[in-house]
Amino acid sequence: MRTASAPALAALLSACVSHPHDAAPAGPERPTFSSDTGTAQEGVLELEVGAVRDDEQALETSLALVLGATPRTEVSVAAVPYGRTHAEGGFGEVVLGGKHRFTDGSDDRPASAMQLEVKLPTSDVPGESDELDVFAGWMLTGAAQSVSWTAYYQLGGRGVEDGAGFDVEHGVALACGSELAGGGFSGFAELATLVRPERDERESFGTLGLALRPTDAIVLDVFVIVGLSRDVPDFAVGIGVAGELGRLFGADTP
């Protein structure tokens, strides 16, 4: 769900703070636009839920299941169980996705990964697209001292009405995060821009948030999103939680 239009959640914690460069404990892909190179542990099923509300009274909830398919690959299905624009709402989009990490990070080079997503035309929310959309994203995740970072680029195809092809979308983002003074807290931030040349649209926004990991299996987050361009709501706030549901296959990680 890679859009800032609501702003969208599941599309929208860069895992630069929620987990390191390789397979690791539970960590959410939302609420930032970007995704990092981390993947769910092999055989482990994770659940993510969240909600965001903007200053125009739009509301969007999110629900996602993520499964570690191999030590370097995860697959996911995400949905918006309920979305609302002003007084009208309904079931939102469904996104099928997958991510593969090509290289792990080290002291002298970042980790690298690629992800693919397909948004199905399921939305009943007024003003939301009911066309098929496809996205491919490339990411690098590294660390500098106590700060981790993710650089992200996404190429998308936004479906046009009546199946008349796709409009191109480019998205870029830079996210960073760092553990705070003990207690399992960390802070994260992101700047992102989406450009759709055929539609003459540009969306720029920043995200700033706080995450708490009470255990390795649970992450809680709160965040604000600030619109930096005309086509994005001025302000939005959100909350979320991600956790491990259990291991479906494979041996426990040592």
% of the chain surpassing 70 pLDDT:
87
User: Is residue 4 a part of any domain in this protein?
Assistant: no
User: Is residue 7 a part of any domain in this protein?
Assistant: no
Report yes or no: 123 and 133 within 8 Å, Cβ to Cβ.
no
% of the chain surpassing 90 pLDDT:
70
Maximum distance among all alpha carbons in the chain? 54
Does the pLDDT of residue 21 top 50, yes or no?
no
CATH number, domain containing residue 186:
2.40.160.40
Nearest Cα to Cα of residue 94 among 115, 112, 119: 119
Higher pLDDT residue, 254 or 63? 63
User: How many other CB atoms sit within 10 Å of the CB of residue 217?
Assistant: 15
User: Is residue 27 a part of any domain in this protein?
Assistant: yes
Structure tokens at 147: 């700060």
Count up the domains in the chain and report the number: 1
Q: Is the pTM of this model over 0.85?
A: yes
User: Is residue 1 a part of any domain in this protein?
Assistant: no
C-alpha–C-alpha distance, residues 69 and 205, integer Å: 33
- Strand runs labelled E in the chain: 44-54, 59-70, 73-79, 83-85, 88-90, 94-103, 111-120, 133-144, 147-159, 166-179, 185-196, 201-215, 218-227, 235-247
What's residue 161's pLDDT? 78
User: Is residue 6 a part of any domain in this protein?
Assistant: no
C-alpha–C-alpha distance, residues 83 and 125, integer Å: 6
Cα–Cα separations (whole angstroms), residue 227 to 1, 80, 184:
18, 21, 29
In tens, the pLDDT along 158-191 reads 998 776 789 999 999 999 999 987 778 999 999 9
Q: Which residues of 138-176 are buried (b: 16+ CB within 10 A; e: fewer)?
A: ebbbbbeeeebbbbbebebbbbeeeeeebbebebebbbb
User: Is residue 43 a part of any domain in this protein?
Assistant: yes
- Residue 15 has, within 13 A of its CA and on its CB side, a CA count of 24
Does the pLDDT of residue 7 top 70, yes or no?
no
Higher pLDDT residue, 16 or 118? 118
User: Is residue 98 a part of any domain in this protein?
Assistant: yes
Cβ contacts of residue 95 below 8 Å, gap of 6+?
1, 10, 11, 76, 77, 78, 79, 117, 118, 119, 120
Q: What is the mean pLDDT of residues 36-42?
A: 94
What's residue 181's pLDDT? 75
pLDDT bin (cut points 50, 70, 90) of residue 24 is: low
User: Helical H runs in the chain?
Assistant: 15-18
User: Is residue 253 a part of any domain in this protein?
Assistant: no
Residue 29's domain comprises: 15-247
